[in-house]
Structure 1
Amino acid sequence: MYHEGHQHLLPCLRCHPHSYIRMVQHLIERCLLLQMSRDQCIKALYKHANIRPIVTLTVWRELQKENRDFFQAYFHSVYPRPFTSRHI
């Protein structure tokens, strides 16, 4: 499968599932570096790499299971809780 004018070959999910999953994982990691939310990542990978949302979501969930502490810290840094005070 060629990707929009690029000369390099992307792995096929059916032909090379391990390579495809590793590619999706790598792309998710790039989204995390850009501090994207899960939904933003899913939309970006679908739009720019034609990766089906269910595939991205599945890989995201597996990464989250394997790296609970990282994702907990990530979510706190990307979505900080607003300051609230009961005394105001």
Structure 2
Amino acid sequence: MYHYGHHHRLPCLRCHPHSYIRMVQHLIERCLLLHMSRDQCVKALAKHASVHPLVTLTVWRELQQENREFFHAYFHSISPRHFTSRRTRRVLRLTREI
């Protein structure tokens, strides 16, 4: 019924596909909470949960299609350009105050 990973019981993709997809979705959501990029999420799930990258990418795409506005805002918030511009504005504001 289930196979064992590193101390975790994980659903089997072939035996319980719906449970497996829900698990991958949950793991992706945890990656989003950690502000991880798609590629970081794919690597983390492959390494720590033995989720095949194609499965993660497929579930990610489905989530992205269902939640376009969220992902647009999410990608904007984690983009290096966004961090750089925020950091630059903060430095400029601090230098004006001095």
Interval containing the TM-score (normalised by the shorter chain): 0.7 to 0.9
Q: CA deviation at 1:81?
A: 7.5
**CA RMSD of superposed structures (Å):** 1.3
Match of 2:92 in 1: none
One-letter identity of the residue aligned with 1:77: S
Match of 1:3 in 2: 5
Distance 1:81 1:50 in 2: 31
Q: Report the TM-score, using the length of structure 2 for normalisation.
A: 0.79
* Structure 2 residue 77 is matched with structure 1 residue 77: yes
Distance 1:47 1:36 in 2: 15
Distance 1:46 1:20 in 2: 14
Q: Unpaired runs of 5+ in structure 2?
A: 86-98
Match of 1:18 in 2: 18
Q: Which runs of 4+ in 1 moved over 3 A?
A: none
Residue 61 of structure 1: SS of its match in structure 2? Answer: helix
Distance 1:63 1:25 in 2: 8
Q: Unpaired runs of 5+ in structure 1?
A: 84-88
Question: Which structure's CA Rg is the greater one?
Answer: 2
Match of 2:93 in 1: none
Residue 58 of structure 1: SS of its match in structure 2? Answer: helix
Q: CA deviation at 1:9?
A: 2.2
Identify, as 1 or 2, the structure richer in strand. 2
Match of 1:86 in 2: none
Cα gap change, 1:81/1:10 in structure 2, threshold over 3 Å: closer, same or farther?
closer
Residue 10 of structure 1: SS of its match in structure 2? Answer: strand
